[in-house]
Structure 1
Amino acid sequence: MVPWRLAFAGSLLLALPVCAHEMAGKHGGRVTDAGSYHVELVAKDKTVDVYLLDSSEKPVPAAGFKASAILIVDGKPARVALTPADANRLTGQAQVPLNAAPKGAVQLTAPDGATASGKFN
């Protein structure tokens, strides 16, 4: 193989995990890994919704989960407490309006006490 092709192929392989880590969700947000779960973050104005999914992208009931989102707003962290709303959704209200794709993290505590976090870049 020509050296530049080998280097190009290697750079593609290195980029794959980054591309696969965060993807578009069915509710219009971004999905990332959070331990053994996937979480979809949807932000609209001051409302933050997080949808829980298992590793097969099937909904996980939100009942019994505790969570918080720590999002970056104008360079400062904004903490949003999230509570179960319905089905597989946790929701909360930020103090300030958010953009549609905020950076930050979601921290989960499952009903069994296990914790996990998912990062959004």
Structure 2
Amino acid sequence: MLLLTLMLATPAAAHEPDTGPNGGARMDAGPYRVELVPAGTVITVHITLDDDSAVDTSTMTGAAILLIEGKPVRVALVPAAPGTLSADTGVAVPSDVKGAVQILGADGVTVQAKF
């Protein structure tokens, strides 16, 4: 809970999320554009570069900490389809979910997007 509080309390990125091409909230995170798309209990994180070209996510990992019904839900993100990381949260995820996504790239650099 403390980690979620710290992540959500730190200053947000330079702008509010926009809507990505897959219908989810999209934020800048380091060199990437990160789009969070909830569907039922599954979240899919689409990762692209600024020019919307896909990123090789086959060696990436990550974590999402989401606030669902007032409770923090933490899940590990694993490679799914090309350009995506995914996780099953085990609970229904609202389309306007709040939280943060951390992504660890193959280069060992971690970036974070807050939604």
TM-score normalised by L of structure 1: 0.80
1:38 to 33, 37, 49: 33
Are 1:115 and 2:115 an aligned pair?
Answer: no
Question: Please, which of 49, 58, 67 is the counterpart of residue 62 of structure 2?
Answer: 67
Task: From 77, 84, 92, give the equivalent of 1:82.
Answer: 77
- 1:92 and 1:104 map into 2 onto residues whose CA distance is 14
2:96 and 2:40 map into 1 onto residues whose CA distance is 11
Greater strand proportion: 1
Structure 1 unaligned segments of length 5 or more: list them.
1-16
Shift of 1:95: 2.2
Mapped to 1, the partners of 2:23 and 2:103 lie a distance apart of 21
Structure 2 residue runs of 5 or longer lacking an equivalent are: 1-13
Structure 1 residue 101: deviation in Å? Answer: 1.8
Secondary structure (helix, strand or coil) at the match of 1:64 reads coil
Query: 1 CA distance for matches of 2:72 and 2:23?
Result: 23
Equivalenced residues, count = 102
- The one-letter amino acid paired with 1:25 is G
Runs (4+) off by over 2 Å: none
Cα RMSD, aligned residues only: 1.1
Based on CA coordinates, which of the two structures has the bigger radius of gyration? 1
Deviation for aligned residue 1:76: 1.3
Q: Secondary structure at the match of 2:92?
A: strand
1:57 Cα deviation from its structure 2 partner: 1.9
Structure richer in helix, relative to its length: 1
User: With structure 2 as the length reference, what TM-score do the two structures score?
Assistant: 0.84
What CA distance in whole angstroms lies between the structure 2 residues aligned with 1:70 and 1:114?
19
Identity of aligned residues (%): 36
